[in-house]
Homo-oligomer: A and B are copies of this chain.
Amino acid sequence: MNYPNKSKIEKTTFINYAHRGMTLESDINSSNKYYLDNDIAVIYKKPTPIKVVKVNYNNRINTKIVEAYYEVPSTTDYNGIYKGKYIDFEAKETKSKTAFNLNNIHKHQIVHLEKVLKHGGISFLIIRFTTINKTFLLFTEDFSNYIKDNDRKSIPLSYIEEKGYLLKDSYNPIIDYIKIIDNYIGDKNEKKI
């Protein structure tokens, strides 16, 4: 399925990194760098999975990949460690003003987030509604509950506003999601007592 149809006209595109500065991905990467530099948490974005089919060797350093295809990720985009806890999340943007469409996330990614939770980790989604410029953190517990209880193919913004946590933009870190995790850990410890 990933092999291009040669009969179609191919359009060659150079990747432009200049506009990356305003995406959710770059905001999260920048926040993760802040956490890392300040020794708060060690959380990284995983590389995009790419299937390499053909390479040209000049020498060991200059290996050029000349045919490759994007693959569907097995898991989520981000994981790492905070206060000894395993952290795992996926970040998604949507243009919708009213709901997060579940087509935006692969089923096996939801299964992965649920597995992490089951094994004692902390997992969640970060969803940015780009049109209304609001970003939320929604824990897997709340996300899964909605999916189980409802047949709808999207999660309404109202539910995310009720159960999720608004992540306000700030200077550094741009998205301080660790603050939400801190409360979450505190709440869990309280329940144990």
Contact = CB atoms under 8 A, between A and B. Distances in A.
B62 A4 contact: yes
B42 A116 contact: yes
- A interface SS class: mixed
A73 B44 CA distance: 11
Contacts of A10: 56-58, 64
Contacts of A48: 47, 50
- Copies of the chain in the assembly: 2
23 contacts: A2-B62, A2-B64, A4-B62, A4-B64, A5-B58, A8-B59, A11-B56, A11-B58, A12-B54, A39-B118, A44-B75, A46-B46, A47-B48, A47-B49, A50-B50, A50-B65, A64-B69, A81-B119, A83-B119, A83-B120, A84-B120, A85-B120, A86-B86
Interface string A43-80: 01011111011111111011111111111011100011
Interface residues on A, range: 35 or more
Given A119-B42, A120-B81, A54 B11 contact: no
Given A8-B59, A42-B112, A81-B88, 12 more contacts: A10-B58, A11-B57, A12-B55, A13-B56, A15-B53, A39-B118, A47-B47, A47-B48, A47-B71, A65-B69, A81-B119, A83-B120
